[in-house]
C-alpha cells in the first residue's frame, strides 16, 4: 500500500487520501495496539512516583506563606496559611451539601491578629437553600476556628459560586 | 483575658513580629547551640507539639548529640541568636490536632520563659520569640 | 457578624467547558474519599490543600504515566517527566486561570516536557537509546518463532517512532494512542488544528514508509 498524499503544513487531505489513511491505520493497528499494551504502568511505578511527588509538595508547603496571629494571652505567632485555611475548610465541608472552595483568613481585631476575618467561596449541592445553609456554615466555621485555632472569627463572608450534582 | 505586655520579669519584652524567612543557615556560637538544644528539648515535650523541623524527628536527645548533629545549613527547630539589642529565639514547630493552636503557643512561650528564668538561656536586653507553626496534622 | 450572600448559578459557558473537558479526559470519579469536582479540587490545591492535590494526582497520574511511557519508550524517563509535571503543576497552579481546564493543562505540561526530552535525545545521537534497552517484552506464551517475529515487528515499530521529530511523535501519540481528536490535541498543545493535521500527516507517512514490509 502506498501512501502518496501530499504532506504539507496544514494540508487538508482529500477523500482518497482519507480512505488510504484509514486503510493504513487499520494495517498498523495490530502493531500499535501491541505497542500500547507493552507500556502499562505497574501499580508500584505509580506508587513510587506518587510518594516522591507528595514529599516534594509537602516540603514546598512548609516554605509557603504565613499568617500572623496572636493568642488571647498576647503571644504573637505566625502559622502557615495553608494550615489555617485547612481548619476553615474542614468546618465548611462538615456542613451537608457544601464544599469549600477558596478560603482567605486575614488577621483582624485590636491588637491585630487577635481575631480573624474569614472570606470563603463554596460550591453547593443542587437543591440546597443557601439562606439557611449559610447560617450553618457561619456557626461551623466560627466554632471550629475558635476550637482549633483558639482565636475568634470576627467576621465570616460567604460567597456561593457554583452548584454541583452528586 | 490577659493584657499583652504583662510579664513577671521586666527584662522580657515580646516583640514577636511573626516574620518568616527561608534562611536556614545559622552560625551560632557554641553556647547558643547548646541553648537552642535545651529549649528544643523543652518545647518538644509539650503536648501538641509533634516535631520541631521537617526531617529532624530525633531532636529529643542529649544536648551533646544535638550539637554534633548541627551543621551550618541544617534547619534547626529552635535557634537562639544574639544581636546588638538582645536575644532572639526562633522556633519552627509542627503541631498535631490534639490541642488548639493558641493553647500550644501559650505553653511554648511559658516553657521558654521558665527555661530562661532558670538560666538555661542567658538573656540580657530584649527577648524576641519568633514562633512559626509550620504545619498542623 | 456580616454575611455577604450573592448566590450565583453555574454559568452556561462553564458548564459547556466542563462537559467538553470531561469528554476529552474522562477521569475516574470513583477514586478518593471526596468525589469532588475538578474545579473544587484545583481551587483548593492552589491554596495549599494537599489532600485536594493528592486527589488530583490520583486521578491523573496513571494516565499521564501511560502517555509518557508511550511517547518516550522509557520507564525512568516517563516517571521523571510525570514527577516533574505534577510538581510543576503544584507550584504554578495559580497560573491556571480556568480550573476546569486542569486536565488539558496537565497534558500540555507533560507534552512539552516529553518534547524537550526527545529533542535533547535526538541532539545527542551517541546517547540514543539502545533498542535492546527498551522495555519491550514479547508475549511469553507465544512459540519461540512467533515471539521472535512479533518482537521484531514491534521493535521495528519502536525504532520507526524514534525517527519522528519530537513534535510529530508527541502529537501522533496524543491522537493515535491517547485517542484525542485533532481539536483536542490542538487545545492540549496550544497549536492550531492545521498544525496538528500537518504533523500527523508527516508522522503517518514516515511510519508507513518505515513499516513497509513489516505488517
Confidence (pLDDT) at A161: 95
Q: Give A142's contacts in chain C (Cβ within 8 Å).
A: 1
Instruction: Kindly report, residue by residue over C57-80, the tens digit of the pLDDT.
Output: 999 999 999 999 999 999 999 999
Residues on chain C touching A130 (C-beta within 8 angstroms): 5, 7
Q: Write down the pLDDT at residue C11.
A: 60
- For residue C140, give the C-alpha cell: 511469553
Q: What is the Cα–Cα distance from B112 to B117, expressed in whole angstroms? A: 9
Report pLDDT for A45: 81
Share of chain B above pLDDT 70, in %: 62
pLDDT at C199 over 60: yes
Say how far apart CA B105 and CA B108 lie, in whole Å.
5
Note the pLDDT of residue A136.
97
Strands A153-164 and A115-125: parallel
Q: Report DSSP state, residue A39.
A: -
Sign of the alpha-carbon dihedral angle for C192, C197, C203, C205 = negative
Which residues have a Cβ under 8 Å from the Cβ of A129 and sit 6 or more positions away? Answer: none
3-state SS of chain A: helix, strand, coil percent to 5? Answer: 45, 25, 25
Cα separation, C173 vs C161, whole angstroms: 10
C121 CB within 8 Å of a chain A CB: no
- Cβ-nearest to B2 among A74, A77, A146: A74
Give residue C2's pLDDT: 42
pLDDT above 90: percentage of residues in chain C: 62
Position C148 confidence tier, pLDDT thresholds 50, 70, 90: low
On whether the pTM is more than 0.80, the answer is no
Residue B15 has pLDDT above 80, yes or no: no
The mean pLDDT value for C20-34 works out to 42
Task: State whether residue A74 sits within 8 Å of chain B by CB.
Answer: yes
Q: Rounded mean pLDDT of chain B? A: 72
* Residue B17 near chain A (CB below 8 Å): yes
Per residue of chain A (166 residues), what is the pLDDT tens digit?
444 444 445 555 566 777 876 776 677 888 899 898 888 888 888 889 999 999 999 989 988 999 999 999 999 999 999 999 999 999 999 999 999 999 999 999 999 999 999 999 999 999 999 988 999 999 999 999 999 999 999 999 999 999 998 8
* Among candidate residues A61, A142, A48, A57, the one with its CA nearest the CA of residue A95: A142
d(CA B75, CA B70) in angstroms, rounded, equals 9
Q: What is the ipTM of this complex?
A: 0.84
Pick from B19-23, B26-30, B93-97: least confident: B19-23
**Alpha-carbon gap, residue A144 to C166, rounded angstroms:** 53
pLDDT for B109 beyond 90: yes
Is residue B75 scored above 60 in pLDDT? no
pLDDT at C149: 59
Burial profile A1-21: b = 16 or more Cβ within 10 angstroms, e = fewer: eebebebeeeeebeeebeebb
**Average pLDDT, whole number, for chain C?**
81
State the pLDDT at residue C9.
Answer: 47
Q: Which of B15, B16, B18 to substitute to test the interface with A, most A CBs within 10 Å?
A: B18
- Inform me whether the pLDDT recorded for C171 exceeds 70: yes
Amino acid at each position: 500500500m502506498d501512501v502518496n498524499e501530499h504532506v504539507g503544513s496544514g494540508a487538508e487531505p482529500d477523500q482518497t487520501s482519507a480512505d488510504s489513511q484509514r486503510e493504513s491505520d487499520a494495517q498498523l493497528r495490530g502493531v500499535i495496539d501491541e505497542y500500547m499494551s507493552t507500556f502499562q504502568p505497574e501499580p508500584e511505578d505509580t506508587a513510587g512516583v506518587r510518594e516522591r511527588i507528595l514529599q516534594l509538595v509537602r516540603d514546598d508547603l512548609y516554605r509557603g506563606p504565613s499568617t500572623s496571629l496572636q493568642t488571647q494571652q498576647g503571644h504573637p505567632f505566625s502559622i502557615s496559611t495553608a494550615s489555617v485555611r485547612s481548619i476553615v475548610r474542614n468546618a465548611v465541608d462538615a456542613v451537608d451539601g457544601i464544599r469549600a472552595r477558596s478560603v482567605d483568613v486575614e488577621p483582624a481585631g485590636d491588637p491585630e491578629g487577635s481575631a480573624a476575618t474569614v472570606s470563603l467561596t463554596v460550591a453547593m449541592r443542587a437543591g440546597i437553600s443557601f439562606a439557611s445553609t449559610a447560617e450553618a456554615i457561619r456557626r461551623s466555621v466560627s466554632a471550629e476556628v475558635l476550637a482549633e485555632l483558639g482565636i475568634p472569627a470576627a467576621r465570616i463572608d460567604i460567597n456561593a459560586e457554583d452548584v454541583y450534582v452528586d | 483575658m490577659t493584657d499583652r505586655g504583662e510579664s513577671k520579669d521586666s527584662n522580657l519584652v515580646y516583640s514577636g513580629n511573626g516574620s518568616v524567612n527561608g534562611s536556614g543557615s545559622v552560625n551560632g556560637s557554641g553556647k547558643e547551640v547548646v541553648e537552642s538544644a535545651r529549649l528544643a528539648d523543652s518545647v518538644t515535650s509539650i503536648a501538641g507539639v509533634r516535631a520541631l523541623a521537617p526531617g529532624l524527628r530525633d531532636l529529643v536527645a542529649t544536648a551533646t548529640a544535638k550539637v554534633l548533629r548541627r551543621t551550618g545549613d541544617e534547619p534547626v527547630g529552635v535557634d537562639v541568636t544574639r544581636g546588638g539589642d538582645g536575644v532572639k529565639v526562633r522556633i519552627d514547630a509542627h503541631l498535631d490536632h490534639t490541642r488548639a493552636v493558641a493553647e500550644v503557643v501559650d505553653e511554648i512561650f511559658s516553657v521558654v520563659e521558665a527555661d530562661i528564668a532558670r538560666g538555661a538561656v542567658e538573656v540580657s536586653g530584649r527577648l524576641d520569640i519568633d514562633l512559626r507553626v509550620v504545619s498542623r496534622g | 457578624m456580616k454575611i455577604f450572600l450573592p448566590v450565583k448559578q453555574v454559568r452556561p459557558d462553564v458548564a459547556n467547558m466542563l462537559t467538553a473537558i470531561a469528554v476529552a479526559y474522562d477521569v475516574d470519579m470513583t477514586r478518593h474519599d471526596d468525589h469532588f469536582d475538578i474545579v473544587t479540587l484545583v481551587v483548593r490545591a492552589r491554596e495549599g490543600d494537599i489532600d485536594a492535590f493528592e486527589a488530583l494526582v490520583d486521578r491523573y497520574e496513571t494516565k499521564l504515566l501511560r502517555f509518557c511511557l508511550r511517547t518516550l519508550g522509557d520507564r525512568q524517563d516517563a516517571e521523571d517527566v510525570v514527577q516533574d509535571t505534577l510538581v510543576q503543576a503544584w507550584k504554578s497552579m495559580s497560573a491556571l486561570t480556568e480550573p476546569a481546564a486542569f486536565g488539558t493543562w496537565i497534558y500540555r505540561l507533560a507534552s512539552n516536557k516529553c518534547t524537550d526530552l526527545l529533542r535533547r535525545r535526538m541532539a545527542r545521537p551517541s546517547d540514543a537509546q539502545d533498542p535492546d534497552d527498551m522495555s519491550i517484552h514479547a508475549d511469553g506464551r507465544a512459540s519461540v518463532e512467533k515471539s521472535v517475529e512479533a518482537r521484531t515487528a514491534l521493535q521495528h515499530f519502536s525504532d520507526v517512532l524514534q525517527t519522528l521529530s519530537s513534535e510529530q511523535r508527541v502529537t501522533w501519540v496524543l491522537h493515535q494512542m491517547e485517542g484525542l481528536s485533532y481539536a483536542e490535541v490542538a487545545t492540549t498543545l496550544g497549536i492550531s488544528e492545521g498544525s496538528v493535521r500537518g504533523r500527523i500527516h508527516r508522522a503517518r507517512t514516515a511510519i508507513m514508509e518505515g513499516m513497509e514490509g513489516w505488517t
